C-alpha cells in the first residue's frame, strides 16, 4: 500500500474567488481528495483568478510551476495610494489622477526590468518576522526594493480615475507595487494565466495527470 496522501496525484486549476485565502482553498482540496496538497504561487485574499494546486506525489514538482510567468488583469484607482497597495489599506496620500497621455507613458515605461518596492502587507520576512504581521501591529518598516521582470503592460481602459491594466510579469512580481509606482492602489486584481495554464480552463473537480501537466510546460 502506498504512503498515505500520495494519491490522487496531479494538477488542479482553481479559479479563486475574492475572500478566502489561497491556503483555505488548498486545505479544501486536501480534505476532499485525501491527498497532500500545495499551491504554486499564492493570491491575496482580495484577489481572484488562477491558482495552481498540486496534489499527492506531484507536489514534489512544485518548484517547476512556482517560477512560471503570470498574467494579471487589474483595476488601479489612481486617486489615492494606500498603505498596502490595495483597497484594504489605509489611504496614505490622495492624488490628482494623471491624464490618459501621461498614464500611457508611465505604463509604457514599465516594460523590462523594473525596480519595485515590496508591499508592506506581504509575506517577506523583515528581521525574522513576516512583513504583514508587522504591518498589522502598526509598525512601520523600510521595505526592500526588488528587481522584477515585466514582459508587457497594456492600458486596457481609463475613465480618468481608474485604469485597467493587462500585465504579464515574471514570478515574484507584486502587482500592488506596480499600482503604487503609478501613484494608486489595486481596486481589483485577477490572475488570468500562469505559464501555459489559463483561468478559463479552471475546474476544481478535474485533476490533470502529472504527465499532461508537465507536458504543457
Partners of residue 76 on adjacent β-strands:
163, 186
Q: Pick the catalytic residue: 15, 44, 77, 180?
A: 44
C-alpha cell at 92: 496614505
Residue 15 a catalytic site member:
no
The dihedral built from the CA positions of residue 205, 68, 110 and 22, taken in this order, carries a sign that is positive
Query: Beta-carbon neighbour count of residue 125 at 10 Å?
Result: 11
Write out the catalytic residue numbers.
44
Amino acid at each position: 500500500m502506498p504512503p498515505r496522501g500520495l494519491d490522487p496525484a496531479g494538477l488542479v486549476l482553481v479559479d479563486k474567488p475574492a475572500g478566502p485565502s489561497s491556503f483555505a482553498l488548498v486545505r479544501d482540496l486536501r480534505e476532499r481528495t485525501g491527498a497532500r496538497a500545495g499551491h504554486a504561487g499564492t493570491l491575496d485574499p482580495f484577489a481572484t483568478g488562477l491558482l495552481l494546486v498540486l496534489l499527492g506525489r506531484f507536489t514534489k514538482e512544485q518548484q517547476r510551476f512556482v517560477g512560471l510567468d503570470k498574467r494579471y488583469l487589474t483595476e488601479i484607482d489612481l486617486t489615492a495610494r494606500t498603505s498596502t497597495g490595495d483597497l484594504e489599506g489605509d489611504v496614505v496620500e490622495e492624488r490628482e489622477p494623471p491624464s490618459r497621455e501621461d498614464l500611457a507613458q508611465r505604463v509604457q515605461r514599465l516594460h523590462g526590468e523594473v525596480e519595485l518596492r515590496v508591499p508592506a502587507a506581504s509575506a517577506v520576512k523583515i528581521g525574522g518576522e513576516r512583513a504583514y504581521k508587522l504591518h498589522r501591529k502598526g509598525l512601520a518598516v523600510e521595505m526592500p526594493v526588488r528587481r522584477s521582470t515585466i514582459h508587457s503592460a497594456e492600458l486596457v481602459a481609463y475613465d480618468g480615475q481608474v485604469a485597467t491594466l493587462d500585465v504579464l510579469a515574471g514570478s515574484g512580481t507584486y502587482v500592488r507595487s506596480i499600482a503604487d509606482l503609478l501613484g494608486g492602489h489595486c481596486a481589483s486584481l485577477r490572475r488570468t494565466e500562469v505559464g501555459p495554464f489559463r483561468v478559463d480552463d479552471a475546474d476544481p473537480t478535474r485533476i490533470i495527470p502529472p504527465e499532461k501537466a508537465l507536458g504543457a510546460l
